[in-house]
């Protein structure tokens, strides 16, 4: 019977992004070669919520053993997460989703299943937990760390807004895809001489709109950090269009941007972290630009097209950056595990791989420094003072 230095549990929570599978591969291969056993916890925190800690229970949907085999290596070339994901929040679980075998223990409308999570981690013999996720997933990871669980976390989010790191897994592919898709859409905008409004990800932070615009994908961008005036935006876009020989202009709109201080949502429901589903600001902006465009175009109305990129920027295989950075993050996490560190978040700080205290995830979101990087008069990035700035301006 094989003996191990310890057992590592790894999970992916929240929205999927390209780069998750390379991170899982990096942890698995390094851990195996260092003499550790690896257990993949399936569907984020849901696998630990739903598992039945009994020898003969069917827990195939909740966890699996990982080793250096074809599945792990093959998956690393693909997007998404082969361990699957969820937005389950064990500390705030609604009564209607408490597993049947726990219904007698948890009867409140909202329940904290942390005692069960701790028992299940102990049952699996997990010595170290490596969660990969955004601030929601990692905030619960920090909770487990305060309960005595050894945790080393890896940041993931397309919005790149996890504090404590310059870079989060998924951001590079998101920016690359956004630039490519916007350039592809230009043919339609130019053919019909339209203003093109493109909605992109970004609930609290506007990096996914700012950087593609800075790279030349759009004429203007509006971001969550700055409430914008629709008349100002329309005037700028009409002028951009009229100066363009192909007679079109482009604006990127962060999903969390607002004209009135209120975000645009799809429906009233929330997830277990209290987030309503964002969406619709792009259509609203397009409609209002169309309505008032004549005012800024000598009385002639301009046709406007609205497109939401949505999940297309998070689908498919990771780009080069989201293949390399997750590899480094996984190995950095294992460095910390081997050295007995806990309560750490790996990442990139000032362009260098590093780690910080995990409690940073309970602080404010990382957002665009408007004064430094965004021209509020022109509704576009600032192009001065690049010396000494982080690679991704965050």
* Active site annotation includes 159: yes
pLDDT computed for residue 218 by the predictor? 98
**In 3-state terms, the chain is what percent helix, strand and coil (to 5)?**
35, 20, 45
Mean pLDDT of 262-270: 53
Tokens 């920027």 found at: 313
Catalytic residue of the set 16, 50, 159, 161: 159
Q: How far is CA 85 from CA 16, 82, 91, 220, in A?
A: 7, 9, 17, 34
Torsion angle, CA of 27/61/319/159, rounded to 10 degrees? -100
Produce one character per residue of 351-386: b if its CB has 16 or more CB atoms within 10 Å, e if not: eebbbbebebbeeebbbbeeeebbeeeebbbbeeee
Which of the pair, 100 or 277, is modelled with greater confidence? 100
Cα gap 95→298, rounded to integer Å: 59
Angle, CA 314 vertex, CA 312 and CA 315 arms, to 5°: 65
pLDDT above 90 for 264:
no
Mean pLDDT of 248-260: 94
Cα gap 86→9, rounded to integer Å: 16
Cβ atoms of residues 202 and 365 within 8 Å? no
Cα gap 181→84, rounded to integer Å: 26
3-state SS assignment for residue 113: coil
pLDDT above 50 for 29:
yes
pLDDT computed for residue 47 by the predictor? 98
Biggest CA-to-CA distance, the chain: 82
Mean pLDDT of 237-244: 98
Cα gap 227→274, rounded to integer Å: 23
Tokens of 10: 């790894």
Q: Decide the pairing of beta strands 128-133 and 6-12.
A: parallel
Cα gap 110→90, rounded to integer Å: 10
pLDDT computed for residue 177 by the predictor? 96
pLDDT computed for residue 263 by the predictor? 47
Instruction: Please list, in sequence order, all residues whose beta carbon lies within 8 angstroms of the beta carbon of residue 266, skipping any fewer than 6 positions away.
Output: 276, 277, 278, 279, 280
Instruction: Please list, in sequence order, all residues whose beta carbon lies within 8 angstroms of the beta carbon of residue 302, skipping any fewer than 6 positions away.
Output: 193, 194, 195, 238, 241, 289, 290, 293, 294
DSSP state of 305: E
Q: Where are the domains of the chain?
A: 6-169+318-362, 175-310+370-381
Cβ atoms of residues 254 and 367 within 8 Å? no
CATH topology classification for 175-310+370-381: Rossmann fold (3.40.50)
pTM of the model: 0.92
pLDDT computed for residue 137 by the predictor? 97
pLDDT computed for residue 265 by the predictor? 47
Mean pLDDT of 97-116: 97
Instruction: Classify domain 6-169+318-362 by CATH architecture.
Output: 3-Layer(aba) Sandwich (3.40)
DSSP state of 364: P
> Taking all residues of the chain, what is their mean pLDDT, rounded to a whole number?
94
pLDDT computed for residue 273 by the predictor? 55
pLDDT above 70 for 267:
no
Mean pLDDT of 30-59: 97
pLDDT above 80 for 64:
yes
Cα gap 363→348, rounded to integer Å: 18
Q: Do domains 6-169+318-362 and 175-310+370-381 have the same CATH topology?
A: yes
Assign 256 a pLDDT band (cuts: 50, 70, 90).
very high
Mean pLDDT of 112-137: 97
pLDDT computed for residue 3 by the predictor? 86
């Amino acid at each position: 019977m094989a003996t191990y230095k310890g057992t590592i549990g790894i999970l992916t929570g929240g929205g999927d992004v390209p780069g998750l599978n390379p991170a899982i591969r990096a942890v698995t291969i390094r851990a195996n070669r260092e003499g550790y056993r690896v257990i993949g916890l399936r569907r984020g925190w849901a696998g630990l919520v739903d598992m039945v800690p009994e020898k003969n229970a069917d827990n195939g949907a909740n966890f699996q053993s990982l080793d250096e085999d074809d599945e792990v290596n093959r998956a690393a070339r693909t997007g998404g997460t082969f361990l699957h994901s969820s937005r389950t929040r064990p500390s705030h679980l609604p009564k209607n989703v408490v597993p049947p075998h726990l219904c007698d223990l948890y009867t409140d409308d909202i329940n904290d299943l942390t005692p069960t999570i701790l028992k299940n981690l102990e049952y699996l013999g997990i010595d170290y937990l490596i969660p990969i996720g955004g601030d929601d997933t990692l905030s619960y990871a920090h909770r487990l760390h305060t309960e005595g669980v050894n945790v080393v976390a890896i940041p993931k989010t397309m919005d790149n807004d996890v504090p404590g790191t310059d870079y989060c897994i998924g951001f590079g592919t998101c920016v690359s895809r956004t630039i490519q898709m916007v350039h592809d859409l230009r043919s339609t905008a130019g053919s019909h001489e339209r203003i093109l409004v493109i909605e992109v990800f970004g609930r609290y932070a506007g990096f996914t709109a700012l950087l593609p615009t800075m790279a030349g994908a759009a004429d203007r961008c509006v971001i969550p950090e700055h409430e914008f005036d629709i008349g100002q935006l329309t005037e700028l876009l009409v002028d951009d269009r009229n100066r363009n020989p192909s007679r079109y202009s482009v604006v990127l709109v962060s999903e969390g941007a607002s004209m009135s201080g209120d975000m645009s949502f799809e429906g009233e429901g929330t997830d277990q972290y209290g987030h309503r589903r964002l969406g619709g600001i792009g259509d609203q902006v397009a409609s209002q630009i169309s309505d008032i465009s004549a005012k800024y175009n000598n009385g002639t109305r301009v046709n406007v097209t609205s497109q939401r990129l949505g999940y297309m920027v998070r689908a498919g295989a990771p780009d080069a950056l989201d293949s390399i950075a997750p590899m480094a993050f996984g190995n950095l996490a294992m460095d910390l595990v081997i050295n007995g560190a806990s309560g750490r978040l790996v990442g990139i700080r000032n362009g260098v791989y590093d780690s910080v205290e995990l409690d940073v995830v309970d602080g404010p979101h990382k957002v665009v420094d408007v004064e430094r990087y965004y021209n509020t008069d022109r509704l576009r990035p600032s192009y001065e003072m690049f010396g000494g700035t982080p690679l991704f301006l965050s």
